[in-house]
Amino acid sequence: MEDNSHFRKLERMYLSAPVNEGIYKGITINILHEKAELTLDIEEKFFHAANAIHGSVYFKMLDDAAFFAVNSIVNDVFVYTVSFNVQLLRPVTHGIVRSVGELKFKSNNLFIADAELFDQNGKLAGRGSGNFMKSKIALTEDIGYR
C-alpha cells in the first residue's frame, strides 16, 4: 500500500529547499511508489553560451527524479547520491522539460535508479543512472519533512 503522506512530505521538503525556492523556483515534483516525476519551465538563466540548457540542469532534473524514486520507499532517513552518470542526448532551448525517475534495484542499503529527461515535445533529451544509499539524517521537520 502506498504511503501518500510520506510522498507529500518528501515533495514539501524538496520544494522548500533553498535551491528550489531560489534558482529553480517553479519546479514541480510528484512522487509515487518507486517513481518520481519533475517538471521545469526553461528560462534563459539556465542557458550556457550556446543558448541551450546547461548540463547542470540535466543533472539536477535526472538526479532529483531518481533520488526521489528511491526515497519514496525509505521512510525513516534521507538517502544520498553515491554516484550518478548522465548522458546528454539533445539540446533543449525552450518549453517545459519533464524528468521521470524509477527505482531499478534495492537492497538493505544500496539502491539503483534510472531517470529520463524529455523536452516539451516528448523527445528524449537526456538520461541518467545513479547509485544511492541511506544516510543517518532522519526525515524530520528540521529538514522540511512535514
- The predicted-structure confidence for 63-89, as pLDDT tens digits, reads as follows 999 999 999 999 999 999 999 999 999
Give the CA distances from residue 94 to residues 46, 99, 142, in Å, rounded to whole numbers and listed in that order. Answer: 10, 15, 36
pTM of the predicted model, to two decimals?
Answer: 0.96
> φ and ψ at 79, to 5 degrees?
-95, 170
Number of structural domains (the chain) is 1
Cα separation, 114 vs 15, whole angstroms = 21
pLDDT confidence of residue 2: 65
Identify the segments of the chain with pLDDT beneath 50: none
What is the spatial order of strands in the sheet that 124-138 belongs to?
Answer: 28-32, 35-41, 96-106, 110-118, 124-138, 77-88
Pairing of strands 77-88, 124-138: antiparallel
Side chain identity, residue 113: A
How far, in Å, CA of 119 to CA of 132, rounded? 26
Q: How confident is the model at residue 70, as a pLDDT?
A: 98
Residue numbers of the domain that contains 35: 4-143
> Grid cell 534521507 — which residue?
78
Q: What is the CATH number of the domain that holds 57?
A: 3.10.129.10
Cell of 52: 541551450
